[in-house]
Amino acid sequence: MWNTPPSPPAPDQAPSPASALMEGGLQLGVPLSPHTVARLVLYLQELVRWNAKVNLTGLAEEADIIPKHFLDSLAACKVLKVGPGLIQPGPGRRVLDVGTGAGFPGLVLKLYDPELAVTLLEPSQKKAAFLHHMIGLLGVTGVSVVIVRIEDLKPA
């Protein structure tokens, strides 16, 4: 058995999801650890699997989902100043993702910055079921899913 590195993809072959996420993160100035990439790939795989039965997103192909959902969500990290090295870590940092759908951008932000507290607001029961599934599968804490329309919330 030879110990040679894998050859780069052929020009007509798409990069692996892990490579696309890693490269996309670097281009955005949001470098991803191998651990974060692995979790994002698992999220992507489950999204594609669930989306075949439950309409979570209008996109069906990984090559479309990665830039339009995952990388767009990661682009928000710099704007929101979340993630390693972007702001002082500590308690009290919160994000409310209204109409999160399949968890974009809120769950992606949480995977990038585990200390961030995230509330995912989603009125659809089927999408909320997917979110609960992903939170359990990924083993993340500090994320809550609220099944409500923003218009139905009462002011405090």
Instruction: Tell me how many domains the chain contains.
Output: 1
- Rounded-to-integer distance, Cα 130 and Cα 28, Å: 27
Structural domain range at position 92? 17-152
Alpha-carbon distances of 98 from 51, 54, 57, 128, 151, rounded to whole Å: 20, 20, 16, 12, 11
Residue 66 lies in a domain: yes
Residue 51 lies in a domain: yes
Record the pTM.
Answer: 0.86
Residue 5 lies in a domain: no
Residue 65 lies in a domain: yes
CB of 91 closer than 8 Å to CB of 113: no
What CATH number did the domain enclosing 140 receive? 3.40.50.150
Paired with 125 in beta bridges are none
Q: What is the pLDDT of residue 80?
A: 83
84-121: pLDDT as tens digits: 765 555 667 889 999 999 999 999 999 999 989 999 99
69-87: pLDDT as tens digits: 999 999 998 888 777 765 5
SS3 at position 117:
strand
Residue 84 lies in a domain: yes
Residue 29 lies in a domain: yes
Phi and psi at residue 81, in whole multiples of 5°? 55, 50
25-64: pLDDT as tens digits: 999 999 999 999 999 999 999 999 999 999 999 999 999 9
CB of 68 closer than 8 Å to CB of 60: no
Residue 1 lies in a domain: no
Contacts of 50 (CB under 8 A, 6+ apart): 56, 130, 133
